[in-house]
């Protein structure tokens, strides 16, 4: 498999840059999503951002997609924060119903159009190979913004994630922090929507972070590892789908291939993590047995 040659083509190069930036963005935010157990937030967002994308597209064409997604994402982030502070959102049947309805509204709206199937596919699974210069800039700006935000807030975020009551007791505005967190997740979904679609972005958020967590117990390593794995998945996935389409007559969708590569990377990381833990454990046992007992 050729890992570099495909990217001499301008559209492939743009796709690669987009996926590498997204990998870094989603990897960083994904670690927080993983630690806060917020998978349902990204889940919710993918359902609500979809109708936003459709409405944006119907109103302003391709340019409307980003802004439609942004509006829907922002509203969702605020609503989720408010709901979570009232009661448990994650296990709420009513919420599930609202989400599916919103999703259905998106589908109904798209079905008005003649190019129904191709549009639907685009919104759900993205179109990585037609990424434009402008989209790259958008993604890069979002990434810089979110990374700066998380860097500034890293201490309150860490304290709030580890010990919510302790954070509140220390005077941290937990509600505000949760809103920021939900907005960050929304921004990832929005940034990724045109490239990988609303469905696959969940994998981009969850899988690299989980893989990095399996490899390390230390946050200073987990975050860069997650970024690296996210970017690596994008690169290998693109190369694989190009190889299959051009040389083997197999049309592999790029977005889907990227996700599958990420899952394979996770498998490798989980295995490596299990080995690491076992080695660490036997080392600890050999090391200072009597000390372990008395303490």
| Rounded CA separation 94/31 (Å) | 28
CB 157 to other proteins: min, Å? 10
**171 is a site residue for other proteins (CB under 8 A):** yes
Give the one residue of 61, 94, 165, 293 binding other proteins; rule: CB under 8 A: 165
For other proteins, the closer CB: 216 or 245? 216
Per-residue binder mask for other proteins (CB under 8 A), 193-222, x = binder: --------------------x--xxxx--x
Give the one residue of 161, 224, 228, 273 binding other proteins; rule: CB under 8 A: 161
**160 is a site residue for other proteins (CB under 8 A):** no
Tell me 37's DSSP state.
T
Structure-token match 């083509």, residue found: 9
| Rounded CA separation 25/204 (Å) | 9
In DSSP notation, 123-169 reads HHH--GGG--HHHHHHHHHHHHHHHHHHHHTHHHHHHHHH-HHHHHH
For residues 31 and 211, the answer to whether their CB atoms sit within 8 Å is: no
Give me the helices (H) in the chain, please. Answer: 10-35, 39-60, 62-86, 93-111, 116-125, 133-152, 154-162, 164-169, 174-215, 219-247, 254-287, 289-294
For other proteins, the closer CB: 5 or 292? 292
Contacting residues for 215 by C-beta, under 8 A, at least 6 apart:
221, 222, 225, 269, 272, 273, 276
For other proteins, the closer CB: 267 or 280? 280
**279 is a site residue for other proteins (CB under 8 A):** no
**39 is a site residue for other proteins (CB under 8 A):** no
Which residues in the 10-29 window bind other proteins by CB under 8 A? none
| Rounded CA separation 59/27 (Å) | 32
Stretch that binds other proteins, among 78-86, 107-115, 146-154, 196-204 (CB under 8 A): 146-154
Stretch that binds other proteins, among 21-29, 156-164, 177-185, 257-265 (CB under 8 A): 156-164
For other proteins, the closer CB: 61 or 171? 171
Which residues in the 220-249 window bind other proteins by CB under 8 A? 222
Residues that bind other proteins (CB under 8 A): 35, 152-156, 158-159, 161-163, 165-166, 168-171, 213, 216-219, 222, 295
């Amino acid at each position: 498999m050729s890992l570099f040659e495909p990217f001499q083509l301008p559209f492939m190069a743009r796709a690669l840059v987009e996926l590498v930036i997204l990998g870094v963005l989603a990897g960083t935010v994904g670690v927080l999503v993983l630690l806060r157990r917020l998978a349902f937030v990204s889940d919710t967002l993918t359902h609500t951002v979809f109708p936003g994308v459709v409405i944006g597209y119907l109103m302003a064409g391709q340019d409307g997609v980003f802004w439609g997604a942004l509006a829907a994402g922002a509203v969702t982030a605020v609503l989720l924060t408010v709901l979570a502070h009232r009661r448990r959102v994650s296990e709420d049947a009513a919420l599930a119903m609202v989400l599916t309805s919103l999703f259905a509204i998106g589908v109904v709206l798209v079905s008005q159009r003649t190019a129904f199937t191709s549009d639907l596919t685009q919104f759900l699974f993205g179109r990585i190979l037609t990424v434009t210069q402008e989209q790259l800039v958008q993604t890069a700006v979002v990434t810089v913004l979110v990374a700066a935000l998380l860097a500034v807030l890293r201490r309150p975020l860490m304290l709030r994630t580890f010990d919510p009551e302790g954070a509140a007791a220390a005077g941290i505005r937990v509600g505000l922090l949760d809103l920021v967190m939900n907005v960050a997740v929304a921004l990832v979904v929005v940034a990724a929507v045109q490239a990988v679609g609303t469905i696959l972005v969940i994998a981009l958020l969850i899988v690299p972070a989980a893989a990095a967590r399996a490899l390390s117990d230390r946050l200073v390593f987990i975050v860069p590892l997650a970024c690296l794995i996210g970017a690596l998945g994008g690169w290998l996935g693109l190369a694989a789908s190009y190889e299959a389409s051009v040389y083997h007559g197999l049309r592999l969708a790029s977005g889907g291939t990227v996700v599958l590569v990420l899952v394979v990377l996770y498998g490798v990381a989980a295995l490596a993590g299990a080995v690491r833990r076992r080695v660490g454990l036997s080392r600890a046992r050999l090391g200072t047995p009597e000390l372990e007992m008395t303490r």
